[in-house]
Chains A and B, each alone.
Chain A
Amino acid sequence: MEVNFKVQRFDPESTDLVSHYQNYQVEMTESSTVLDGLIKIREEDDGTLSLRCSCRAAICGSCAMRINGEAGLACNTKIVDVIPSDGSPITIEPAGNLPVIKDLIVDFQPFWSKFKAVEPWLQPGEIEPEGEYLAPEEDMIHLAGVVSCILCGACVSDCTVLEVDDNFLGPAALAKAYRFSRDPRDESDDQRLAQLNQPGGVWDCTRCMKCVEVCPKGVDPMDRIMLLREKVMDAGYNNTSGARHANAFAKFLKNSGWLDELRLPVLSFGIFNIKAMIGLIPLGIRSQLAGKRPPIFHHKLSSAKEIKKIFEKVESKK
């Protein structure tokens, strides 16, 4: 079957330094992958088409790119799954949020420097064991999920926070931080959690689940970031907006069963955060005038008592 590709090209040695799309038609089989197509293009049609690829089996992480606007590995994306139903071409673009070097090749330096920033190596305690560290089987099985990250960058490509703020450590680095924090042999949680609590760390994730959706290995970076938030709060770091927000939220639910929207932003910013409190005033006025100000008196749900009991029971089990 003939397949149409629309591939973003960029020639760093051109005079105008503008990217453009180039169309290719390739003869492919039903079971072909996007990578098969791109390799065929560069071997038979256009040898100048440049991309990174190696293993063809979703383990090396080289071929992450945007296919029809969404990040993924070219080597395990089947053609039949991405051919648009209206017959338009499959759009291939380089991974997002990273500078483009040439065609589909992006500069991974920002990715690696954030990876290195979380000190991604085991930091065990002082005492070295005779043989192996003893570790529970469930822990290693649990860690296998996040260790299976192949550092392909798909999550970073599509992260909606990185799109607006380069300071964010990003899903890959944070998931890697979780991998070590959660390792029973690692004993550096004090430094790790303190660092992750900083701006650019765990609290900057906007919970959009893009990383969860595009990860080719099921690493679930966002879920790991949420687990890190839990660890950070449990370790006593409760002085960020994020922690205050989560703590206030939980408090309202525990006491009344639902959200007190009027008080939540106040507690979240921090009542002594004068600047933020002043910033809330225009919003408060506008809301009042539109009749959208949440009730001043926050009544409890009829089942508030039962809900509180659930909180107490489950929290005590922790």
Chain B
Amino acid sequence: MIDHDVLIIGAGLAGLRAALSAKEAGVDVAVVTKVHPVRSHSNAAQGGINAALTDRGDDWRDHAYDTIKGSDFLGDQDAIEVMCREAGDEVISMENMGAIFNRDENGKLGTRSFGGQREARTFFVADFTGQALLHVLYEQIVKAGAFVYEEWFVLSLIVRDGKCGGVVMMDIRTGKIEVVRAKAVILATGGLGRVFEPSTNALICTGDGMSLAYRAGAELMDMEMVQYHPTTLKGSGVLLSEAARGEGAYLLNSENERFMLKYAPEFKELASRDVVSRCEQTEIDEGRGVDGCVLLDLRHLGEKYISERLSQIRELAMDFANVDMVKEPVPVMPGMHYAMGGVKADIDGKTAIPGLYAAGEVACISVHGGNRLGANSLLDTLVFGRRSGTHAAEMIKSVQHLSIDDSAAQDDIDNINSLLSNEKNESFGQVRLDMGTGMKNHLGVYRDQNSMEKALELVKDVKERAKSIYVADKSKTFNTNLMFSIELGFMTECAEAIAASAIQRKESRGAHTRTDMPDRDDENWLKHILVTKKDDSHDISFLDVIITDWEPVIRQY
């Protein structure tokens, strides 16, 4: 058995930032990640990171309001204030660590415009900001000598008397299972994109942390809020950054019309993502689409500009859509991209379970409410990653290890043996595909009572099927087949939480748009929906949104 003070699950931006701050506080820290840190999905973020820097005459309160409005007023305003107030320092801190942010002609950090914001306050590294920041943090933890369990897979959280005391994890390379005690566990496992098909998300985004927390008794909040990004490629789901629109790209329908001008006269293509996705879907549904897509037009930006600021997405469009955006518009459509919901956590990452923290996409505080603004996720991961690490490092000083022994791994060992002994049957791939396409169809940009009931049916079906899938690989070394089968279990649980929350919300808000209840109902529904596990089913509860200075108004872009 292994002991650590702070154990961080996930080595993306949130996890590494937490590791850095915990290490700086001088405690024993370990990071466990199922892929090498630089392979984490944070590297796929493209556009940039938001911050209001006062030396440019920007005001964090403006950023806060843009975020609150963007969230369709479901975001908790106290938490949003914290994020926006600390944003400037976070960006400067990343630059000082080595991030090669774009500069203006005076050598100071440059900005670009981004969705839903009145001021250009998005700091960026060409169009691969996530990769650039992730690598900087990885370099810093190498420098700090932080310990990383590379390619280890967490199977379950260990909870005793309602307190989290560690994890059961498997060394993917050898199949060895270890019980690890930790005085604080920080979940930083990212999103759940693979619950949907297609999705912009990597294959590793299987909602592990959300499911682990759910099974441990934590609350999952706002799970129905699933963001569809407006500019993804058909088929592959590959993401083309909002930065394209930030740099001036147009969205056109089959009639060559810039349709966003009629839906969002002020913000146009830079309205909040849920708004843009809905407009695109409407255009497509009403027959003004081009082969199920709309067109992203960057031709007017010119080759030199695109090469300097958007070279990665130009490559992506050429590789995955056979289109050179310098010469032709690219067909794009709304694609599942981000989970606003997640494990309920506060501004220091604390969840309802003592000893268990959550930060980044896995968490829901909520700073994104019903819809996340572009370039706020990178900010979220860094601010709350840092805060969680700092808080956990402090908290553990007054905590002892729980009484845990190797028997804590028994359930997971039994589960694995059970999976391995399943008879020849369908593989995880088929079940995941059915779940993914079903979830996308029933819980898409638009949903209604009927579709959501179908989603619940689907969930029931795939949960059952997931138990009896066939695991062809029986080996101990790098058994990816087994790992995917376990991940499928995580995903079906997340799907359940999403469907269960969605059918509860009797209004349209943010990314949850019901064609049968198209209006927002602040009187009854200015609250979060929480799902907790109860045996093989779930309980629903509600939590009021925290309002500080900004009363909800109708969203106009």
B481 A147 Cβ-Cβ under 8 A: no
Number of interface residues of B (CB under 8 A): 67
Query: In the bound complex, how far is the Cα of B103 from the Cα of A140, in angstroms?
Result: 7
Q: Does A194 contact B (CB under 8 A)?
A: no
A120 B139 Cβ-Cβ under 8 A: yes
Q: Does B202 contact A (CB under 8 A)?
A: yes
| Chain-B contact segment, one of A125-133, A198-206, A245-253 | A125-133
A144 B100 Cβ-Cβ under 8 A: yes
A61 B38 Cβ-Cβ under 8 A: yes
Provide the A107-128 mask, 1 if CB < 8 A to any CB of B, else 0: 0100010001001111010001
Which residues in chain A, 48-72, are within 8 Å of chain B measured between CB atoms?
48, 50-62
A133 B95 Cβ-Cβ under 8 A: yes
Query: In the bound complex, how far is the Cα of B494 from the Cα of A299, in angstroms?
Result: 80
Select one of A31, A50, A59, A131 contacting B131, CB under 8 A. A59
Interface size class for chain A? 35 or more
- CB-defined contacts of A16 to chain B, threshold 8 Å: none
A136 B107 Cβ-Cβ under 8 A: yes
A48 B475 Cβ-Cβ under 8 A: yes
- Whether A48 touches B481, Cβ cut-off 8 Å, given contacts A61-B38, A120-B142, is yes
A132 B96 Cβ-Cβ under 8 A: yes
Q: Does B399 contact A (CB under 8 A)?
A: no
Which residues in chain A, 6-59, are within 8 Å of chain B measured between CB atoms?
11-13, 31, 39, 42-44, 46-48, 50-59
Interface centre among B101, B473, B480 (most CB of A within 10 A): B480
Which residues in chain B, 14-57, are within 8 Å of chain A measured between CB atoms?
35-36, 38-41, 43-44, 53, 55
A111 to chain B, nearest CB (A): 10
Query: In the bound complex, how far is the Cα of B173 from the Cα of A120, in angstroms?
Result: 26
A11 B44 Cβ-Cβ under 8 A: no
- CB-defined contacts of A4 to chain B, threshold 8 Å: none
| Chain-A contact segment, one of B234-242, B268-276, B280-288, B526-534 | B234-242
Q: Which residue of chain A lies nearest to B126 when distances are taken between CB atoms in the complex?
A: A144
A60 B100 Cβ-Cβ under 8 A: no
Q: Does A101 contact B (CB under 8 A)?
A: yes
- CB-defined contacts of B39 to chain A, threshold 8 Å: 52, 54-55, 60-62
Q: Does A137 contact B (CB under 8 A)?
A: yes
- CB-defined contacts of A61 to chain B, threshold 8 Å: 38-39
B478 A101 Cβ-Cβ under 8 A: yes
Q: Does A135 contact B (CB under 8 A)?
A: yes
Q: Which residue of chain B lies nearest to A29 when distances are taken between CB atoms in the complex?
A: B235
Q: Does A228 contact B (CB under 8 A)?
A: no
Q: Does A187 contact B (CB under 8 A)?
A: no
- Whether A147 touches B100, Cβ cut-off 8 Å, given contacts A50-B473, A76-B319, is yes
Q: Does B316 contact A (CB under 8 A)?
A: yes
Residues of A whose CB lies within 8 Å of any CB of B are 11-13, 31, 39, 42-44, 46-48, 50-62, 76, 78, 101-102, 105, 108, 112, 116, 119-122, 124, 128-129, 131-137, 140-141, 143-144, 147-148, 150-151, 180, 183, 185
11 contacts between A and B (CB under 8 A): A31-B322, A47-B470, A60-B44, A102-B478, A120-B142, A124-B96, A140-B101, A140-B103, A148-B131, A151-B135, A183-B100
Residues of B whose CB lies within 8 Å of any CB of A are 35-36, 38-41, 43-44, 53, 55, 92, 95-98, 100-110, 125-126, 128, 131-132, 135-136, 139-140, 142-143, 173, 202-204, 235-236, 238-239, 308, 312, 315-316, 319-320, 322, 427-430, 470-473, 475-481
